Amino acid sequence: MKTRVAVIDYGSQYSQLIVRRVREIGYYSHLYAPADIRNIGNVGAVILSGGPRSVTEPGAPDVDFEFLQSLNAPVLGICYGMQILNVKWGGKVSSGASREYGPADVRVEQSDRILDGVGSTFRVWMSHSDVVTGCPPQSSVLARNPAGHPVAIQWSPSFYGIQFHPEVSHTEHGTRILKNFLSLMNRQPDFSMASYKDELIQSIREEVRGRSVICAVSGGVDSTVLAVLLKESGVRLRPIFVDSGLLRKNEPVEVARNFREMAIAIETVPAGDKFVPALAGVEDPEKKRRIIGDLFVKVFYETAGDIELLAQGTLYPDVIESATSGSDITSRIKTHHNRVDKILELKREGKVMEPLADLFKDEVRALGRVLNIPLEILNRHPFPGPGLAVRIPGAVTKEKLDVLREADDILVRHLKESGWYDKTWQALCVLLPVKTVGIKGDERSYEHALSIRCVTSRDAMTADWAELPHTLLRQIANAILNKVKGVNRVLYDISTKPPASIEWE
């Protein structure tokens, strides 16, 4: 990459969002721990994120200020980042009388390059308890909040700080402020998915060095983009599809057809006769995930045999989650995806590659478009690794799986026919572990209750329930009640995330 914008992570819930915003503006960005700052190469600009700690407390995260100054690159501190820079420049930060969280209005006092075009007042999103109570003599206060505290400061021609969060959508002119700051690099945006694809292909060829590559495919967005990218790179590829018997209706057939149309031959391993019996009588959700994960690993590696190189569809949020926890990526892999000891062994041998590890979910979809993957695949809703097992709270049986498959098929079909499938992030049915009394025909029934969940989201970090039209909900519910044997009650889940999760287990 010609230009790299380094985001130093101090633990803010919005750190990933800063990286995303910078990439959307057109510059390549990456998240780094404060201790890694001297190892960053080819830096065009630095952004210090917010964080939950107080700069006034002992042992608070620090910054290598001398090194920052030596970079001769523009630096922007956000929230905690602004406070720590103010202290380094010789200013003062103190605990505020109260925490400032949520929307707030700020008043611009001095027109400056990074606040160009925002007007005299604008609304921002705050999330802090400390405040700047003293600025060094050489600094300029660019904006203040209603209490008079500085919320935008310039310490030098290239060092700035803002107390609010420009990366969140709640801040007016937030993207413009980031663009204004990045313009200080005096470099044109040079990050595009088309050029990034070419760099990925080149790096894959250099890493593979003639070895054969094996990968697991599920038919989902990540593994499909990974497989097509590897194919485009010209490597010897062996994609394996493990049919756990926990998939949606007709999914194994559809996955095979989709890959065939993309000229990729996949190896399907029917294993439903192993997974479903292994889950008999198991109700604990984590135990179910562990059984599925261990069995998947066993089936996959028995099929794979000797591995020269394993490709994984790990995405950037997975890497960040692990890095910020202070542990290696493999120690945080979900139990239904991989058995950690096997991955660690392969990593030690240099046999694991993760070509998508610098990309967010929406960027993976953008890469898929560049690779000409059909939109029907790229727009596919996320589907959990353990499959329908996590949508059956309690014990999993073949009977319950069959009921859930039919209901799920009806839900997805109605959403697609109505145009609502692409308006929602994820849609699912959950077969509840209760039976209710109902009436079917002239007889009383005692069958399952089923919950529908449709959510809107951008990245699944937060989610809201989708306000489907009542007529559509009625059509879906009636179709399930009339066509799915074993269900006599349909509910609609209107929980947000947080506090609820998107999936039920």
Task: Show which residues are catalytic.
Answer: 79, 165, 167
Q: Reduce the secondary structure of 287-347 to three states and give it as a string.
A: HHHHHHHHHHHHHHHHHHCCCCCEECCCCHHHHHHHHHCCCCHHHHCCCCCCCHHHHHHHH
Q: Helix 398-418 and helix 470-483: axis angle, to 10°?
A: 150
DSSP code of residue 372: T
219, 353 contact by CB (below 8 A): no
Residue whose pair of structure tokens reads 């097992």 in the numeric block: 389
Calculated CA dihedral for residues 217, 223, 229, 232, nearest 10 degrees: 20
Three-class DSSP category at 455: strand
Q: Which residues of 103-130 are buried (b: 16+ CB within 10 A; e: fewer)?
A: ebebebeeebebbeebeeebebbbbbeb
Instruction: Please state, in angstroms and rounded to a whole number, the distance separating the CA atoms of residues 453 and 466.
Output: 8
Beta bridge partners of 134: 92
Sheet harboring 121-134: ordered strands across?
A: 28-32, 4-8, 43-48, 75-78, 159-162, 150-156, 140-144, 92-108, 121-134
Residue 42: Cβ-neighbour burial (10 angstroms; 0-12, 13-18, 19+): exposed
At 438, which helix (H) or strand (E)?
A: strand 426-440
> What value, to the nearest 5°, has the Cα angle with vertex 450 and ends 484 and 414?
60
Q: Helix 361-370 and helix 193-208: axis angle, to 10°?
A: 90
Looking at residue 262, its amino acid is: M
313, 222 contact by CB (below 8 A): yes
φ, ψ for residue 143, nearest 5 deg? -155, 155
